[in-house]
Structure 1
């Protein structure tokens, strides 16, 4: 896979934009701004993105050039870098946004950019795999992969922000938005309902994979709602419940005891909404706990293995390349929350998903 020849002009422009300051937005601001999506508001939003997106994309493109251990030269990483450079070029070639026609053209273009970047996560995972395959296992444990982890945290956090900004702008064009929705944000989201949907999806996957699945019990106030992005919460709860189901299922598979249910508790505090997901799946050894938030560790079989030798870039399942937990934690942190995992080896695991209720925290800008 030959990397593109890059023009000097493009490189210097990327360098220039990568030095400019990013501007973060809060959930509350997105909600208030988008609550009246007039043509004037959409124009202002497009003008903001026209200036903001090239800065964020340039920063990532620059970082992709200078990764440690030769990661930048891996074919999959070069492919991701090319996607970022193409998107940067598209944004810069779009001249000023002066009227509704310009705004509509710009919206179509950023929609395309979002699609172009759909497979960034599996593609980067593939690059890291390509690196791991080459490194001697002895060296792999001696070198500190911290640099790569910190890079991936910044890289994926930035990607969440870019996709949120594009998705939010595009969704504000919906002529018939669902009730109480402002773009991606649901102003009266029921965490109980989202947790129920996400856990049913996770249970479906468990049934398909193992032929049976533990029960899931959900506790909390079904009438309680708060403003949040349901797709983000869905992704996080799905990931955590899927892990719990897998642990319980594998622990009780050959036992004549009934598998204990996975319990989900939704608590609404003044500052935080906390969702606790508890299982009796045997827990994680304390020595293994630091690893669960790294990008180079998964207990599931790896779907990337069959993908490594092919040139295909199909979207892949979240399971198996070990990114579910670290990426879920980034989603939680993106709007000022967090994710903590507490485990009792020999018994089970509790995951605490904290979501900030105030919606005031600025995007964390890597």
Structure 2
């Protein structure tokens, strides 16, 4: 009944239009193209950008709205997922209701509209996580979550698409900034120091643990990796008098990639400490446990999502605790032509390798 009631809030003609636009072809862009095009944010270029987004965004949003209608294991019927679907349908309606963009005045109004859409979708990740949690509560406890390929593949597509949508909107909006930071073209910092971002992310992760490319995206990825590492070390040494081993970060500057390695050397101890809190007695992650760390239905940390959470709330929810840090970090890396690899030696330790493409000319991996 809940699904039917929410569905009826949208007209039949709107739903038909969603399905029509969802069948259209997406157009990917590269980071290099975004940088070169945005290096001269003239009124003409901003108008061209807005006209492109006016056509492209409804296609991407429609595809996600359609997919949210028919998810396996009745995931589509969970209240939190229905809420996310409503956000996508509302955004599609807003996009399609906006008239043709003909001049700079239209472009400025359009920019404010897509800026509001981006804010509307701020909590999509925790809301989808809540929907998955609602599903897990009614599933057979004997089910092995990493075997639910359909759900994992959907979430990979869904979050990869979300990254692209937010990147396109954020880049266009930021080009309107009258006082951009030095060396920045919209979201993109042309002189970014991976070492500096890694150091800042490490300090932020350290602060969180003590409390219980695009710089913001790189920060997110390194933050998640270091946070997981520090949390594992902290939990392992909580009742010990021994000094916890350090988490070490190496940044390698290659011709094609910048690679950030996060590892756990410990001169006073034989074992290292794994990511995603899979702490074993002698360190490292068992080979059988590695598939779990990139799934969306698994985490050994305390789940921060209250089953009675107000799904209309706009309060931000941390990613820690519902197992999304590593899989989403890997999607960010892949979106920009890189990758994230986890290599573990059971009984010894675990290393994370974050590869970042220097070239920036790979097309978006459109789902």
For the criterion TM > 0.5, the same-fold answer is yes
Which residue matches 1:254? 239
The answer on 1:109 being equivalent to 2:113 is yes
CA–CA distance in structure 2, aligned partners of residues 50 and 260 of structure 1: 51
CA–CA distance in structure 2, aligned partners of residues 184 and 176 of structure 1: 13
Residues 2-51 of structure 1 show CA distances to partners (whole Å, capped at 9, x for unaligned) of: 41413111111011100111000101000000001000010000000000
1:249 deviates by 1.5
The alpha-carbon distance between structure 1 residues 310 and 269, as it changes in their structure 2 partners (threshold 3 A), is same
Aligned pairs for 1:165-204 within 5 A = 165-204=168-207
The alpha-carbon distance between structure 1 residues 21 and 125, as it changes in their structure 2 partners (threshold 3 A), is same
1:252 deviates by 2.2
SS of 1:189's partner is coil
CA–CA distance in structure 2, aligned partners of residues 72 and 255 of structure 1: 46
Which residue matches 1:237? 222
2:149 to 146, 150, 163: 146
1:137 deviates by 1.1
Deviates more, 1:153-162 or 1:64-73: 64-73
2:75 to 71, 77, 84: 71
2:42 to 28, 38, 42: 38
Aligned pairs for 1:1-366 within 5 A = 2-5=5-8, 6-138=10-142, 140-141=143-144, 144-209=147-212, 228-279=213-264, 280-281=272-273, 282-304=283-305, 306-308=306-308, 310-313=310-313, 314-366=315-367
CA–CA distance in structure 2, aligned partners of residues 118 and 37 of structure 1: 26
SS of 1:137's partner is coil
CA–CA distance in structure 2, aligned partners of residues 77 and 155 of structure 1: 12
The alpha-carbon distance between structure 1 residues 66 and 4, as it changes in their structure 2 partners (threshold 3 A), is closer
The alpha-carbon distance between structure 1 residues 164 and 142, as it changes in their structure 2 partners (threshold 3 A), is closer
SS of 2:249's partner is strand
- When normalised by structure 1's length, the TM-score is 0.92
CA–CA distance in structure 2, aligned partners of residues 98 and 58 of structure 1: 24
The alpha-carbon distance between structure 1 residues 271 and 116, as it changes in their structure 2 partners (threshold 3 A), is same
Structure 1: gaps spanning 5 or more residues: 210-227
RMSD after superposition = 1.3
- When normalised by structure 2's length, the TM-score is 0.92
Residues 251-288 of structure 1 show CA distances to partners (whole Å, capped at 9, x for unaligned) of: 22222221111000000111111000002222222211
The alpha-carbon distance between structure 1 residues 101 and 142, as it changes in their structure 2 partners (threshold 3 A), is closer
CA–CA distance in structure 2, aligned partners of residues 182 and 309 of structure 1: 38
Deviating above 6 A after TM superposition, structure 1's stretches of 4 or more consecutive aligned residues are none
Structure 2: gaps spanning 5 or more residues: 265-271, 274-282
1:311 deviates by 4.1
The alpha-carbon distance between structure 1 residues 55 and 311, as it changes in their structure 2 partners (threshold 3 A), is closer
CA–CA distance in structure 1, aligned partners of residues 354 and 257 of structure 2: 10
Aligned pairs, number: 346
Which residue matches 2:269? none
